[in-house]
Chain A
Amino acid sequence: MKTADDLRTRFLSQALLGTALAVGTTLAVSAAGCSATPPPGADATEHQAGGASGAATGSATDGSTGGSVATDATPGDSAAADAGAAADDGVPADDGAVPDEVAAEQLAPVEQLAAGEDRGAGMGTFTTGTGPQPVPPRMAPDPAPRPENVRIEELEPSQLTEFVRRMQAGHLLVSLRQLANRVPPGSGLTPPEACPAVIQGMSPRHDMVAAVTPYPTLNDALSERFGEPMCLYWVSWYAAPPPAFLGRALVDGHTFVRAHVVRTTAWIGRTA
């Protein structure tokens, strides 16, 4: 058992995570690294783990509770991540959280799915409560990832072409429909309408949603590093992801997985 100081920090972190669940913001933690958006009223510098420099304080006793909110991040940490601080896996460090509006839009397809579900199925002796309700995104069903989804984690940069081909064939069940609404103003990213090939290949199913990171500074850094326009995609699973993804963060109750850094020229267009 840790000291009283450790326990206080641990429990306060957990409680703040709870507040974030309620207000719909993202306070993300993971054992490997943290990515967080503070709840309203909280100091962002206290909760946002700045990529590689954000320390996961970890569970006091078991190491399995997913760590706790890093408190040592400084305002500069996020910027450092944006500048492309590289993680061990060679993928630039996470630059932080997905904004609320982006997260909400990412989850929109889940709501669409849920609307068509028979949510009363299951244990027949139970009623379904208060009847059909608008389903908050985080309460949507969580289908297990399909085998073909898992393959994304195995992608190497050289396999991106195949990734796109499979997506266009509908095999990867990736929806980019929401990207049009997800590209934040001023981000310098091109809406997906600019890439008809991808849209044409979009699967009507929404098992996964790809979302572009809204941080142009990170994209700029990636582009500089790779020598061509780049942007960072997020792919969300509506269930626990397979282990060993390159990077991940818990966002609004869902596990967002950084699928890969992809070439925007082959993907959805170009950076501004």
Chain B
Amino acid sequence: MTPPVTTPPVAAPPAAATPAAASTDTTAATSAATPPVARSFAPPVFAGVLTSLPEALRAQAADAWVDAALAEHASVASFARFVQELMYLAAPPELIVAALDAAREEVEHAQASFAIASALAGEPLGPGPLPVVEPREVDFAELARTTFDEACLEETLGAMAAQEAAERCVDPEVRAVLERIAVEEARHADLAWKAIGWALASGGAAVRVALEEARDTLPLSAPARVEDDDEATEALLRAGVITDAWLARRRDHVAATVVRPALQALLEATPGPVAAPPAPPAAHSGKPEGNR
């Protein structure tokens, strides 16, 4: 789920020096009028990860992991809003439960990502306050369109990115985190597809029109071969980091070969008129697959 907004990271205070006392003195902790402080968001500790990275690359990787952690953190709120929208439309519990599960998984992704970022940065990092995400009184068409735009493509890309990073990452602990994220983001993509299927069957022609419009924003074809990654991208991949450039090189390919055909097949498999696919967008620069 594409995050609606992210918050800057906040350095967390060091861990309590006396864990035993800290765990028992709850009265003091709760009654003191202390301002909210950023806490470490990361139960996992990855103190020794990626120690082989050069210093400059390590800092770059830390920044990237912070960005990823903030995105995961904001996704929790995004899924929470998604739950509200589903309930507003009287969605079946299967979808609500799946969305709640996804929100919980995003919390854990954020925790793990902040833990890696903290290890790389050499200081504990956690999220700052997140602005309230405004609820939306969506209809089926809006839900379908936003879900498609925010999740059907992006979650798929996110899952692919995590999987790619996992395969290239040199650190086993980071790799394990990425592998888990890949699995769960793919599951979130499943949820998105299931939700638009439900919306399509529930909301009638307006949803079909919205999804046809969404389909038509995607390229019909994509470059037959994704460009090789440059050296900097390769180095960051070894740190488990996916760059925007990496994603950009694959977005059209995934959209054209996975997302658009799947949506077209859904529209064809469900009752209702199916608009003829439009001509390829003139601005699209990708080489048609047929020219391979």
Q: Using CB atoms and an 8 Å cutoff, list the residues of chain A in contact with chain B.
A: 1, 4, 7-8, 10-12, 14-23, 39-42, 59-62, 64-65, 136, 138-139, 142, 253
Known A10-B190, A19-B201; further 6 A-B contacts with Cβ < 8 A: A4-B254, A11-B258, A15-B194, A19-B266, A59-B190, A62-B183
Chain A residues closer than 8 Å to B257, beta-carbon distance: 4, 8
Contacting pair B270 A18 (CB below 8 A): no
Chain B residues engaging chain A, CB cutoff 8 angstroms: 90, 92-95, 152, 156, 159-160, 163-164, 182-184, 186-187, 189-191, 193-202, 254, 257-259, 261-263, 265-266, 269-271
Q: Closest 9 A-B residue pairs measured CB to CB? A: A18-B197, A22-B201, A15-B197, A62-B183, A18-B198, A18-B194, A19-B201, A14-B193, A4-B257
25 contacts between A and B (CB under 8 A): A11-B189, A11-B190, A11-B259, A12-B269, A15-B200, A18-B193, A18-B197, A18-B199, A19-B201, A21-B95, A22-B197, A22-B200, A22-B202, A42-B269, A59-B186, A59-B190, A60-B186, A61-B159, A61-B163, A61-B183, A65-B186, A138-B93, A138-B94, A139-B92, A253-B92
Q: How far is the CB of A188 from chain B (nearest CB, A)?
A: 34
What residues of chain A lie closer than 8 Å to B95, measured between beta carbons? 18, 21
Question: DSSP class of A's interface residues: helix, strand, loop or mixed?
Answer: helix
Q: Inside 8 A of B262's CB, which chain A residues have their CB?
A: 7-8, 11-12, 15
Inter-chain CA distance A39–B259, complex, in Å, is 22
Contact B266 A12, beta carbon cutoff 8 Å = yes
Residues of A close to B193: CB separation below 8 A: 11-12, 14-15, 18
Residues of B with C-beta under 8 A to A60: 186
How far, in angstroms, from A136 to B92 measured CA to CA in the complex?
A: 9
Q: Do A14 and B270 contact each other (CB < 8 Å), given the known contacts A7-B262, A21-B92, A61-B159?
A: no
Residue of A nearest to B179 (CB): A61
Expressed in whole angstroms, the Cα–Cα distance for A15 and B201 within the complex equals: 10
Which partner residue on chain B sits nearest A138 by CB separation?
Answer: B92
Nearest B residue to A27 via CB reads B197
- Chain B residues with Cβ under 8 A from A4's Cβ? 254, 257-258
